[in-house]
Every structure is written in structure tokens, then in C-alpha cells.
Amino acid sequence: MVSGRPTCQFVRELPVGPAIDDPARRARRARLAEGQFDVLVIGGGITGAGVALDAAARGLTVALVEQDDFAAGTSSRSTKLVHGGLRYLPLGDLRQVREDLAERAWLLRNVPYLVRPLPFVLPLYRRARRPLGIDLPPILGAATPLGVSAGLWAYDMLGGRRSGGPHRALAPDAARMLVPSIRLDGLRRAYLYHDAAADDARLVMAVVRTARSRGAVVLNYARAVELVRGGGRVAGARVIDGPSGEAVTITARTTVNAAGVWAGDVAALAGPPRFHLRRAKGVHLVVRADRLLAGRAALVLPETDDGRIAFVVPWEGAALLGTTDTEWTGRPDAAAADASDVSYLLDHAARFLAVPVRRDDVVSAFAGLRPLIASTDDRATSGLSRRHEIFSGPPGFVSIVGGKLTTYRRMAEDAVNHILGRRDGTPSPTRGLSLDGTAGFMSALPALRARALRAGLSRGTLRHLLRAYGARTARVLDLIGERPGLGSPIADNHPDVAAEVVLAAREDMAVSVEDVLLRRTRLGHVVPDQCGTAAPAVAALMAAELGWSCEITAAQVEAYRRAAARLALPVRRP
Ligand code: FAD
């Protein structure tokens, strides 16, 4: 594990967030303040990052501001699936599923190191009441496997050739080989099908980096607080930079509201919002993979009491168990897992696993909010559409809301076509654009492997680096070449290395220990205790990069520990 402390004699706690400023941020603020942009994007989740990239790829000048860290909102809190959504098949929306699967194919092709095929095991049990959320009259129960098989066949067809192979029925032993924890008792039939998965926060960063490489000027910890007007239209926004407290006015021909569950608040800056959003909370538990006997495939929990499905998904050497779907009416930043979310997930998992997941097996929990466009009736949030919509107005102002991680590129294409007045669905250049880390990846593999071996890195670390950075693994190896100590793991028995901390601060705009441990790496979710211990060493590495004082370094460690405490399981009620 990395170790080391700030070399200060005296440290005191400061009431800070990131509380730092550095020359690179100052330069970015100066660029944002000068000249006029074609497009200003408010929101640095997957939607805003996608719009910034699409616009930049079409040669427009682009600015993007994010009030927190990139992906700090919903876009680091998803189930991390890149999918068409098997659950939406029974609803009959085949066009949507086909479009989503086309985006899955695009992602597998254009960012192959990060988005990878994932096998799924779907079990069907005797006495199932609502498999895949379909209410079946008992008389048709005998035909369930036939119906599910037909649904999976349609999913294969809609997904095209790159779907990872057609689905097939699995013998119980084969199902157990893929998911050792699956309950075999009462199992009627199991199926294997393929979808894909990607780390959401890393995907956002890959899109942000690609947008920057195309000239977009981006700034995290910069909040749009007011829209500016000129010539009878919205002409940009006034932004407060958190670390410095400086106000920057950014002028732009079109301002895009991509603020996710905050989109209603941002739209209200322009007048009465033209849409109504509902927020649906989704909780995930991060479970120790060894306790869960998680395998290399994901497991579908085929029915929940509220008519949905849930998943156990391998993630970062642990397993994600999720998710829930309940209406959230509080402040977006206050959403957290509560005791009923934890019991809901553990109880449902217990029905389909041979090994019960205990509270002690859960290392952390996180909650995300889905931005859903309200319908005219008052149906449950789980029944609301996951489609995206674009709302125009007042002049110079466009909002894009809804959608999925999987469909971000398509959403961005639609939004930029809308801005440019191209209602004919003009294809965006992003259709042929690989994301950062992809170009040269396959041809660089042998050299990267040889360099990692010479640097004494384990196979696990090399595999992790290739999956997280693609061709950019070379940058991590450069840093280790300069300072071999940077090849040390951040946490014991986990592959992430200290060089990633330096890279995050130097090139990926991380400005807090939280940015590094929760989003540039995901260690804070997976080994929270070790990260509490490693935080001073991580802060010391960042301090050297960003010129932090001892006070700021110490305050950063405290700020991280406070942020990490929000991921702890809620205290159980007596
Ligand atoms: P966000 O990521 O929330 O980004 C909006 C950003 O705007 C935020 O970072 C916020 O800080 C910023 N912002 C707000 N106000 C301002 C302001 N005034 N100034 C500057 N910035 C501002 N999709 C899938 O495809 N696959 C899945 O497996 C999947 N699982 C999911 C599971 C859960 C539990 C949830 C909740 C969602 C899931 N989704 C999934 C959906 C997907 O995660 C979301 O659709 C997507 O992340 C939304 O991205 P966004 O950029 O619109 O919102």
C-alpha cells in the first residue's frame, strides 16, 4: 500500500471542499472568459460530456462547466451496464431497444478497452410469479420458458452480429460454473445471453478527454448560477469557480442544459421550465466478491416485488448488487441508501442465491438519481420512459433530459442536430470517432506488456491498467519509469497503482482526494477502510502535483473521510 504523510509539523482542519487553485485551472478560466463560444454546456455527466464532444467534433467552439467533479452526479452511480434493456422488451418498444443496442455495438467498437462484452445468466424458477416483470396468468406459466426464449432471440436479432454470440439454454452445472452463487433449488431453466458493461465514471472521463483533444474548454467545480442575456436571447452563463471563488462570464450562441436531475433548476434560470422531471433513486450495494462467490458472469435476479429485475454484476474485483427504484423528492445531493433499500436488496438477493449475502459482506453502498421525464398520469417511477427529450427555449437555450448512459452518443447527436436546425437526423462525425485511449491500442499491446513486465508490475495491475486507460497505459508506465515507487499499489491486493494518482492530478483534472479515490479510481467504493488509511499518502502525491500547502493537504484528507462516510451502510434500526 502507498504510505507517507505530508511533511508538516503542524496541520489543522480547514472547512474546505477542494479549496485549491492551480495555474492550469487559472488558464482554463481565462480561456472561458475570452471570446464567444458556439456552445456552452452546463453539466459534466455523460450527457453534457457527450454533447461537448459531438459539438467539438463538428468543428464548433465549445465550453463545458460542471459544478462538482465530472461524473459526480448520476453518471458515476449507475449499474454500469451498456445494454438495450431486456426489461423493456416485454413493453414492446422494439425500436428503442434496437437503437440502444446499436449504441452498445458502437461503444464496443469505439472504446473496446473500456466497454467489454459481459455474459449474463438469467434463471427461471418454478413458481415464478412475474419473471422479467411480466404478469402471467397461471395458465400460461408453463409457457414461460418459451416466451423468455423468444424474447432473448429477439434481443439477439436486434443486437446484430456484435452481440457476443446468441443466447443459449444452460444446464444447472454450467450456470453454476458462470455464477457459483446461483440458487439451483427450484431452478426450471437458465439462459446465457450477452450484453456489455463499462465503468461509468471512466467512460465520462474518456469522453471529456476526447472533447478536450478536439478543442473543448472544460472546467469542473464551476457552477452556472445565472444566465446572461443579449439580443433577446440567452447568450451564455455566469459561472462561479468553486476553488478560487472567482466569477466568470462565458458567452455562447447556444447554452445547453445537460444538468441531469438538476436540469429543472438550471432551466428555471431561464424562466418557467418547459418540462417536469421526476427523480427515481437507485441504490447499489458493493459486496465482497469472495463472500458472494461472484463469478465472471452477471446474474439477473429475474423478478422483484415491484415488478422489475435486478442484477449482480462483477465490478472492480467486487460485485454490485442493485438496484432499487423509488421516488426521491428531497435535495438531489442528499440522496443516500437507507435501511429499507439495504433490506430490499439483501432480501431479493437471498431468493436467488445459494449463499445468502449478509450485511457484513457489504463493503459500501451508493445511491444515484434517474432523471425521468414525468408523464401525465401518476405512475410509479419504474414505469416511466427512459427515453431522452430535447426542449427548446427561450431562444439560445436548449435542455436535454432523460436517456441512459448507453445512449449518450445518440443523445448528443440529436441535441447538436437540434441546435444546428438539422431535423433530418444528420449523422454526426462521432459515428466514426474512437474515444481517447482507443487509437493504436491493439498494436501497442505487446510493447505495453513488455514495459509493464520490466517495471515489475503484476499481471493483475497490467490488466487493470489496460482496461482503465487503453493505449494511455503508456502514460502510467512513463510515470513509473521516472519514479519506480509510483508502481506501488494504492491498496493491498488491489491493482490500482500510485502513478494513477499523479496522472489524475496532472492530466485528468482531479482536484481532490475524493476525485481520485471515488471516480478516477473506484477504490473508495471497493476497499473503503484501506482508502481511509491511504488517503494521506494519496493527498501527499496530489500536493506535490498541485502545489497544496500542508493545511490544504490535511484538510483534503478530512474532506475525503467525510465523503467516504456517506458510502457506509446506514445504521441498522434496533
Ligand atoms: P448527471 O450524471 O447527473 O450529470 C449532470 C451534471 O450536471 C451533474 O454532474 C451536476 O453536478 C451538473 N450540474 C447540475 N447543475 C449544474 C450547474 N448549475 N452548473 C454546472 N453543473 C451543474 N444507464 C445505462 O445505460 N446503464 C445502466 O446500467 C444504468 N444504470 C443506472 C442505475 C441507476 C441507479 C441510475 C440512477 C441510473 C442508471 N442509468 C443507467 C442511467 C444513467 O446513469 C443516467 O441516464 C446518466 O448517468 C445521466 O447522466 P446525465 O449527464 O444526464 O446526469
Q: Ligand 1: which atom is nearest the Cα of residue 281?
A: 36
Residue 376's pLDDT is 66
Residue whose cell numbers read 498494436: 443
Q: Ligand 1: which atom is nearest the Cα of residue 370?
A: 36
Q: Is CATH 1.10.8.870 correct for 441-565?
A: yes
Separation between Cα atoms, residue 504 and residue 519, nearest integer Å? 10
DSSP state of 472: G
Separation between Cα atoms, residue 193 and residue 167, nearest integer Å? 4
Q: Which residues of 491-509 are buried (b: 16+ CB within 10 A; e: fewer)?
A: beebbbbbbbbbbbbeebb
Angle at CA of residue 545, ends 568 and 474, nearest 5°: 90
Residue 162's pLDDT is 57
Residue 149 grid coordinates: 426464449
Q: Which residues of the chain have pLDDT under 50?
A: 6-18, 574
Separation between Cα atoms, residue 63 and residue 215, nearest integer Å? 9
The neighbouring-strand residues paired with 190 are 123, 170
Residue 415's pLDDT is 97
Cis amide prior to 251 (ω within 30 degrees):
no
Ramachandran angles phi, psi of 252, nearest 5° = -150, 150
Q: Closest residue (by CA) to atom 44 of ligand 1? A: 404
DSSP assignments along 136-201, one per residue: --GGGGGGHHHHHHHHHHHHHHHH-GGGSS--EEE-HHHHHHH-TTB--TTEEEEEEEEEEE--HH
Residue 137's pLDDT is 61
Residue 122's pLDDT is 95
State how far the alpha carbon of 502 is from the alpha carbons of 20, 478, 506, 511, 513, in Å: 16, 11, 6, 11, 11
State how far the alpha carbon of 351 is from the alpha carbons of 124, 187, 303, 355, 401, in Å: 12, 11, 10, 10, 35
Q: Ligand 1: which atom is nearest the Cα of residue 65?
A: 20
Instruction: State which amino acid sits at residue 93.
Output: D
Residue 6's pLDDT is 46
Separation between Cα atoms, residue 308 and residue 323, nearest integer Å? 10
Q: Closest residue (by CA) to atom 47 of ligand 1? A: 75
The CA radius of gyration of the chain, in Å to the nearest whole number, is 23
The residue whose CB lies within 8 Å of the most ligand 1 atoms, and thus the one to mutate among 249, 405, 514, 525, is: 405
Ramachandran angles phi, psi of 151, nearest 5° = -60, -45
Domain boundaries, given as residue ranges, for the chain:
23-75+201-274+393-432, 118-196+279-372, 441-565
Residue 383's pLDDT is 67
SS3 8: coil
Residue 149's pLDDT is 84
Ramachandran angles phi, psi of 34, nearest 5° = -95, 145
Measured in Å, residue 468 CA sits from the centre of ligand 1 at 20
Residue 514 grid coordinates: 475524493
Residue 266 grid coordinates: 438550471
Residue 386's pLDDT is 74
State the DSSP H helix or E strand holding residue 404, giving kind and residue range, or none if neither.
Answer: none
Measured in Å, residue 572 CA sits from the centre of ligand 1 at 29
Assess whether the C-beta atom of 78 lies below 6 angstroms from ligand 1: yes
Assess whether the C-beta atom of 515 lies below 6 angstroms from ligand 1: no
Assess whether the C-beta atom of 369 lies below 6 angstroms from ligand 1: yes
Assess whether the C-beta atom of 46 lies below 6 angstroms from ligand 1: yes
pTM (2 d.p.)? 0.95
Assess whether the C-beta atom of 220 lies below 6 angstroms from ligand 1: no
Separation between Cα atoms, residue 5 and residue 510, nearest integer Å? 19
Q: Ligand 1: which atom is nearest the Cα of residue 46?
A: 51
Q: Which of 290, 292, 262, 288 is nearest to 275 (CA)?
A: 262
Measured in Å, residue 260 CA sits from the centre of ligand 1 at 5
Give the class (CATH, top level) of 118-196+279-372: alpha beta
What is the dotted CATH code of the domain comprising 23-75+201-274+393-432?
Answer: 3.50.50.60
Residue 9's pLDDT is 37
Residue 483 burial by CB count (10 A; 0-12/13-18/19+): exposed, middle or buried? Answer: exposed
Residue 449's pLDDT is 97
Residue 98 grid coordinates: 434496437
By DSSP bridging, strand 310-315 and strand 318-322 are antiparallel
Residue 373's pLDDT is 87
Q: Which of 573, 561, 567, 531 is nearest to 368 (CA)?
A: 567
Residue whose cell numbers read 473508495: 524
Assess whether the C-beta atom of 50 lies below 6 angstroms from ligand 1: no
Q: Ligand 1: which atom is nearest the Cα of residue 325?
A: 34
Residue 311 burial by CB count (10 A; 0-12/13-18/19+): exposed, middle or buried? Answer: buried
Q: Are 288 and 245 in contact (CB under 8 A)?
A: no
Residue 131's pLDDT is 74
